[in-house]
Structure 1
């Protein structure tokens, strides 16, 4: 059981790292929590956009990127990283308009 938890934690870190690199390539600053599968994209005018990487029980435990509260963005795989970047940009734009 402990091995599964550490494998999941490592997979979460790797997926967040991949998302971090994608966001940085778009010019965004990104902060990654050390002890939580969470990253924050700071917003100059408001709160940062937070994104988690967690297992989704309704998807057989597959890792997904989510906003706080569990709002699903996309599976945490390479094919969906562009979708997550677009969703984060949308959140930042909505905050700027709000």
Structure 2
């Protein structure tokens, strides 16, 4: 029951957020990005192009049944924070980290 996630206690939810951010960090490292996980907050910082830092959080998205989603610092929802769609998050974060790569 994923919708029951809202009733989950805060420490457990925070642990799940950290695990999902850790998985994203490992995938981005495999693609050559420098990443850092914050100690005190479920936050991932990705070093991209010159002077580009992308901040990614993992938070509950109420309009998606309480699922965990990755979102950028400016509030843009990136992708669901699950193993099946981790590649979507990697592609999206890479696009934010190196915005002119496709130009």
TM class by shorter chain equals 0.7 to 0.9
Structure with the higher helix share, 1 or 2: 1
The within-5 A match list for 1:69-88 is: 69-88=74-93
Contact 2:28 2:35 (C-alpha < 8 Å) held by counterparts: yes
Equivalenced residue count is 96
Where do 5+ consecutive residues of structure 1 fail to align? Answer: none
Match of 2:18 in 1: 13
Name the TM-score, length of structure 2 as normaliser. Answer: 0.83
Q: Once the two structures are superposed, what CA deviation does each residue of 1:55-83 show, in whole Å capped at 9, x if it has no partner?
A: 11111221000011321111100011111
TM-score (norm 1): 0.87
Structural RMSD (CA): 1.9
The runs of 4+ residues in structure 1 deviating greater than 3 Å are none
Structure 2: runs of 5+ lacking an equivalent = 1-7
* Equivalent-residue separation in structure 2 for 1:21 and 1:47 (angstroms): 19
